[in-house]
Structure 1
Amino acid sequence: MKQPRLFSEEDRSFAEAVRRINATNPFLPERIARERDALGEGFVEEGATWNTLPPSETSHPNHVRLTERMGAVIERTRGAWPRDGRVAREEATAYGELAGLWLYHTYMQRFDRVIRAAEAAHGKTAEPGGAATAGEAGAKPVRADFFPAFRTDVERLLALPGLRLLEGQPVEHLFACAFQIRRAFHHIFRSLAGGSAPMARLRAAIWQSIFTHDLPRYRRTLYARIGDFATLVTGPSGTGKELVARAIALSRYLPYDVRRGGFTDDFSAAFFPLNLAALSPTLIESELFGHRRGAFTGALADRAGWMDVCSATGSVFLDEIGEVETGIQVKLLRVLQSRTFQRLGDTETRRFSGKIIAATNRDLSAKIRAGRFREDFYYRLCSDVVRTPSLREQLDASEAELPLLTGHVAQRLLGEEEGEKFGREAVAWIEKNLGRHYAWPGNFRELEQCMRNLLVRGEYRPALQAGGSPWPGAGQGREAGGGGEADWNALLGPGKLTAEEVLRRYTRHVHAQAITVEETARRLDQDRRTVKARLAAEE
C-alpha cells in the first residue's frame, strides 16, 4: 500500500531548504544563501549577513520568519501524521530537521540568559583573559530551569508513532546539544571581531573544530569523544590564537543532569591556559602535571597541576608549544597517546580526561627538520589545525574592516558613545600617518596598542617600517641597540664590532622590545641561558 504524503509540494520544498540550512556551517556565506532560498520573497536583505556583523541581543527578522514558518509547517505535518506511524523515511527525516531547528530558535534566547548569568557569577565576560583557576574547579553546575518546558515541546513534536528520533538521543542530550550550539555562537562571535572573508573563514574553522563537519554524527557519538582530538592553532603573533583556543574550550559539550536541574559543569571555569615560553622547564612540569612536596627546591607542599584540575569537559591550553624542550614534549606525547601522566617526584600514574589545545607562531615543520620538535609529537597535535589570519589579510579583504576593528577596540576602551567617536578619529589618524597599506607586523595586538597610544598621547610610532627598518624616533635610547641607531650604524659600517659584540647588542635590542628573557629567547630562537649571558655581558 502506498504511503500517504505528509508534505504539500510547497512545504516539502521548504523542509528541504531547512535541511540545507542545518547542513551548512553558519559562519560561511552559503548559510545566508540557504536562508534566502527558504524564505524566498519573504527574505529581508537589510542586515541579512548576520554572521559577519557584531552580535545582536535580538533575533534577525529572517530568523523570526523562519521560526514562524517552521512552526506552521510542523503543525500541518503533525495533523496529517498517520496513527499507524507508516511514514516514508525521507519525510520523517525532513520533519525531524524542521523540529530540531524550530526548538533551537525557540529556546536560544533563554540559553543566552543562562550563559550571561554563568559569566556574571564568575565576574567573566567574553573578553580576553577569563580563565579558570584551580579554586574554581568543581564549581557549581550551571542551572537551566526551563528544561521541563523544553522536554514538553520535544515530546509533543517528536513522540509520534513510528518516529524514532528520540531513540538513543534522550531529551536531556538534545537539550545539552542546543546549549552547546548557543554557547559556540556566543563565544565565537564575542571573542573575534571583524567581518572580512578571512575572519568568516576563521569563525567557520572554529565551528568545525567544535562540532566537526558532520553535526548529526557529532550529536550521535562524537560529542563524547571529541576531547581525545588535540587542536593546534597556528598563525602570526598577535592574531588572537588564545582567543580561538578559549572559544573552543568554553564551547564544549556539557551533559545535563535532570536530577540536579543543571549542566554537570560550569563552562566558564573550563579553560586552563599556560604560556610555555614564560616558564622554565621545571615550572612548566609543575604547572602542568603538579608535584610532590620536596620534588625540587621550593616545593614545600603537594600541588595539583592543570592536568589534575581539568575535568573531562575542560581544556588545557599550551601556548607557544613550539618553544617547549624535547623532554617535556615526550611527557606531553604520553598524555596525548595514553591520557596518563605523573606528578614531579611521584610514581603514581594519573589520568587526564580533558582536551589539549596548543598554539604556536613557529614553523613546526622547520623545527622538526632541525631536530628541535619531535615528529611523533607533532602528528599527535595536528588532528585538528586552525590557522589565524594576519591583520593585513583582513584589511586587504575588506575596506570596511579597519573602521569595524577600531570601533570594536574603541568601544571596549571607552564605552559605546565615546568609543564610536574615538574610533572614527583613530581611523582618520591611521590613514593619514601610517597609510592604508601599513603592514601591521604586530597584527591585532599592535592595532590595540596603537589606539592606546593615540588615546594617551595623540600619536603612535611603530617599531618598524615596511621592510624592517626602524621608524624615526622609535625605541630611542641605549636599549634600542646599544648606544642608539646612529652609533650602531657607525660601528657596523667600518666593521668595528666583533661577531660576539654584534650578537650581544642585537640581543639587547630585541630584549628591549620583548621585555622578558623568555620572549627574547623565543624570538631569537636561542636557549634562554644564552640570552641571559649575553644580556649580562652588555650590562
Structure 2
Amino acid sequence: MRNPNKPLTPAERAQTRRLAELSLANPFLPRRVKLEAEVLGVPEQTGTESWSFTFTPADKRSQATEDLLKLLTSLVARWRQQFTSMSRALDSDAESYVQMVRFYLFLKFQRDFHQVAGEGSGEKVTRSGRMDFWKPFLEESTRCLSLPGLSPFDETNAAHLFAILFQIRRAFVHIYKHIVGRSPAASRLRAATWESIFTHDLDRYIASRHRHTGDIPTLITGPSGSGKELVARAIGLSRYVPFGPGARAFVENYAGSFHPVNLSALTPTLIESELFGHQRGAFTGALANHQGWLERCSPHGTVFLDEIGEFDVAAQVKLLRVLQTRVFQRVGDSATRRFSGKIIVATNRDLGAAIAIHRFRADLYYRLCGDILVTPSLHEQLADSPDDLALWVEYIGRQMGEEEPSPLVAEVVAWVEKHLGADYAWPGNFRELEQCVRNIWIRKTYRPVAGATAPTLSPEDTWLNAVREGKLTAEELLQGYCTRVYSKTENYRTAARTLNLDWRTVRLNVEKAGSRIEAPLKRQ
C-alpha cells in the first residue's frame, strides 16, 4: 500500500494535470474522448469521435465513470495529505487540484444531480424543492477544498459550486438527449450549444462569466424543421441558477424558466402585447393590465422568440432598446420596467437579404449576432451519416409510445429506401420525417408534397458549407474570402487593408468569384 506521506510522484502530478484538463473539456468535442482514453490508459473506441445519443445500454460508459471516480478518489486523498503538510502550494498545483476536485465532486454526486434533474424535465425539483444531498456535498467539498495553501472555501463557495455542477449535469442531459445524430454536423451543433451555455472556457465561466452570459442574446439560424427550438430549449433550461444553502433549495425552479413565443402566429399588435405587456385601455380589447413575457421572465429565465424574421419593423425598435438598455415599457404605459433574463431568437430567413430590402434592421441584427448557432438540415446530416435515419425513426417511435420500436424502424427505413431513396431532399427536415413515420405507422405509406424541394442556401452559406467540408481549392477559398470581406466594407482599398493585399488583387478575386453580394457594391 502506498505511503500517503510520500511526496507525489511526477506521474501522479502529470495525471492530475490531465484530469484537470479533462474536467474543463467540452464533452461533445473529440478532444474530450481522447483525453478520457489517455487518462484511463485504454484505446479509443473506433467510430467514437464524440459523444452522441444511443439507445444501447451504457455499460461501458458506466464502467468508465467508475474507473474515473476511483482514480480521482485516490489522487484527491494523496493531494489532501500533501496540502496538509504544506505552508503554501504552488499556484499551478493549487489550480490543477481545484479543477480536479470539481470533477471528483461531480462524479461522486452525479446520480444525485441526475435524479434531481430527472430526464431534463426538472419534475423532481418541482416536487421536492429541498436538496437532501446538500449537507453531504457541503461536508465533502469542505473536506477537499478547505486546506492550507488553497484559497478560502466556505459555505457560499460550496453553494456556488453546487449550482455549477447541477448546471453542468442539466446542460449535458438536454444536449445529449435532444440534439440527436452521429454526423459531424450534429456533433458540431452539440459542441457549439455547450459553448453557448458555458463559453469556450469553463474555468472562467465558473469564476465570473456565469453572471454575464445571459446578457448576450443567441441567434439560431437554419432551415424550417431542423430543430432550432430544441437547441433554444437546451440553452434556456441550462442557465445558471444560484443555490440557497439556508433553504437548501435553488432560488427558482429551472423547469419553468423557458418561455417560447412564436412570432409568426401573432399580429403586430399582439406581438407587442405578448412580449412587452399592455395597460388597460391601451387598445380595443385591452380590458385589463397584462404582463408580457419580458416582465414575467425571471433573471435566470429565457424568452425565446421564434421566427424573428417575421418581427414587425416597428416592434424591432422596441426590442433593440431592450437589448441595448435592458429596459422596456408596456404598450400604453410610460413606466419603465427592467428585463434581466436572456433573449434567444431563431429564424429560417436570410436576414442579410431582409436587411437589404429594409425588412429587418441592421442595428438589431448586430445586437443579436454575438452568439450564432446554425442547425444543419436533415439532408445534410443523412449525407454524412446515412445510418442515422434508423436512429431518428427509433427516437420518434419511442416518443409515439412504441415500447418495441424495432419493427417500425425496419418498416420505415425500408419504405424510405425503396420509395424516396438516399438523395431525397427532406425539405421539411425533422418535422417532415416525424410525419413520414406517423403516416407509415398508420397507413404503411407516405406521400411527400409534390414538387417539394429543400430550401435554397444563400451563396454565403453555400460557400461556408464548402469550406467546412474541405471542398474548395486554395484559389476558390481566396476568391470567396475576398468577396466576403469586400461585401462588408463595400470598398476595395478598405478590404485590401484588412486582407493585407493589393486592392487590385482584391478586385480581381471578387470579379473571378462572380458571387452575389447582397449589399450594394460601390466601385472604387
TM-score (norm 1): 0.79
Paired residue for 1:196?
A: 183
Q: 1:61 to 1:253 in 2, by over 3 A?
A: same
Query: Do 1:54 and 1:189's aligned partners in 2 also have CA atoms closer than 8 Å?
Result: no
2:522: which partner in 1? none
- How far apart are the structure 1 equivalents of 2:120 and 2:424? 41
Distance 1:5 1:270 in 2: 50
**Alignment correspondent of 1:71:** 73
Maintained 8 Å contact 2:181/2:391: yes
Spell out, residue by residue over 1:344-391, the C-alpha distance to the aligned partner (whole angstroms, 9 max, x if none).
111111111111000001111111111111111001111111110000
Q: Which runs of 5+ in 2 are unaligned?
A: 456-524
Name the residue aligned to 1:429: 415
1:287 match: secondary structure: helix
Aligned residues of 2:261 and 2:305 also touching (Cα < 8 A):
yes
Report the equivalent of 2:347.
360
Q: Which digits, 9 at most, give the CA deviation of each residue in 1:438-495, with x for residues without a partner?
A: 11111111100111111111111111447689xxxxxxxxxxxxxxxxxxxxxxxxxx
Pair 116,82 (structure 1): closer, same or farther in 2 beyond 3 Å: closer
Aligned to 1:106: 108
Number of aligned positions between the proteins? 449
CA contact (8 A) 2:20 2:97 kept: no
1:291 & 1:5 partners in 2: Cα distance?
Answer: 70
User: Residues 33-112 of structure 1 correspond to what in structure 2 (within 5 A)?
Assistant: 33-41=34-42, 45=45, 51-54=51-54, 60-112=62-114
1:46 positional shift: 8.6
| Secondary structure of the corresponding residue to residue 196 of structure 2 | helix
Extract unaligned runs of 5+ from structure 1.
Answer: 125-138, 470-539
Corresponding residue to 1:264 among 218, 238, 251? 251
Residue-by-residue CA offset, 1:245-282 (whole Å, 9 max, x unaligned):
11100000000011111000111100111111111010
Letter in 2 for 1:249: G
Corresponding residue of 1:456: 442
> Given that residues 292 and 302 in structure 1 are in contact (C-alpha distance below 8 angstroms), is that contact kept between their aligned partners in structure 2?
yes
Change (3 A) 1:35 1:7: same
Query: Does structure 2 conserve the Cα–Cα contact (< 8 Å) formed by 1:407 and 1:424?
Result: no
Partner residue in 1 for 2:21: 20
User: Greater CA deviation, 192-201 or 103-112?
Assistant: 192-201
Alignment of 1:84-233 (within 5 A): 84-116=86-118, 119=121, 121=123, 142-164=129-151, 166=153, 170-233=157-220
Give 1:445's aligned residue. 431
Residues 507-533 of structure 1: CA distance to partner in whole angstroms, max 9, x if unpaired?
xxxxxxxxxxxxxxxxxxxxxxxxxxx
State the match for 2:515 in structure 1. none
Instruction: Write out per-residue CA displacement over residues 391-449 of structure 1, whole angstroms, 9 at most, x where no aligned residue.
Output: 011111113211111111112113331x2220121111101111112111111111001
Distance 2:412 2:177 in 1: 22
SS in 2 for 1:273: strand
Any idea what SS the aligned residue of 1:317 has? strand
1:315–1:354 Cα contact (<8 Å) kept: yes
Q: Evaluate the alpha carbon distance shift between residue 459 and residue 27 of structure 1 in structure 2; reply closer, same or farther with a 3 A threshold.
A: same
Mapped partners of 1:378, 1:445: distance in 2: 27
2:302 aligns with 315
Give the Cα–Cα distance (whole angstroms) in 2 for the partners of residues 192 and 168 of structure 1. 36
User: What is the SS of the residue equivalent to 1:313?
Assistant: coil
TM-score in terms of structure 2 length = 0.81
Matching of residue 343 in structure 1 with residue 345 in structure 2: no
Deviation, structure 1 residue 97: 2.0
Alpha-carbon separation, structure 1, partners of 2:375 and 2:453: 23
Verify the 8 A CA contact 2:50 2:187 in the aligned structure 1: no
Q: Give the letter aligned to residue 402 of structure 2.
A: G
Over 3 Å counting, the alpha-carbon distance change for 1:35 and 1:121 in structure 2 is: closer
Paired letter, 1:405:
W
d(CA) in 1 for partners of 2:279, 2:294: 14
Give 1:5 shift.
9.4
Secondary structure in structure 2 of the residue aligned to 1:274: strand
1:301 maps to a residue whose letter is A
SS at match of 1:461: coil
Worse overlay, 455-464 or 245-254: 455-464
In structure 2, what is the Cα distance between the partners aligned to 1:463 and 1:433?
A: 14
On the 8 A contact 1:85/1:160 being kept in 2, the answer is no
1:48, CA displacement in angstroms? 6.1
Instruction: Give the Cα separation in 2 of the matches to 1:263 and 1:385.
Output: 29
Letter in 1 for 2:304: F
378 and 6 in structure 1: CA distance in 2 versus 1, 3 angstrom threshold: farther
